Homo-oligomer: A and B are copies of this chain.
């Protein structure tokens, strides 16, 4: 049966992503942030636009707005007018935001979700997923 393996793979993918989320949640609890804030800080490397953040977070733009509201309230980011596109806004980390981001990265990197796989297995997995997503 074709549906058989479909089912299992979907279920496993779901569980794997849940595992990733659980780790993010753990880090968020440690740092007194919410999970989405952790992900947003992870992705906020350079000054980027809100849409670009949504792309990196793989979510809708409305979610980016939502999390940026919170981060802005906490003084971790700043919304500046975009230099060339007046529709857009440039998101910039404040100094406090930079420090927070450093904490986030340090804790996130203290765990490799792919540790159970060898290097060649990791690249196989990457290639298979690439084929599925595009």
Contact = CB atoms under 8 A, between A and B. Distances in A.
B9 A14 contact: no
A13 B13 contact: yes
Given A3-B109, A114-B6, A132 B11 contact: no
A16 B112 contact: no
Contacts of A124: 124, 128
A126 interface: yes
Interface residues of A, number: 36
A61 interface: no
Contact of A12 (B8, B15, B130): B130
Given A19-B133, A133-B19, A114 B5 contact: yes
Given A109-B3, A112-B2, A11 B128 contact: no
Interface stretch (A46-54, A63-71, A80-88, A115-123): A115-123
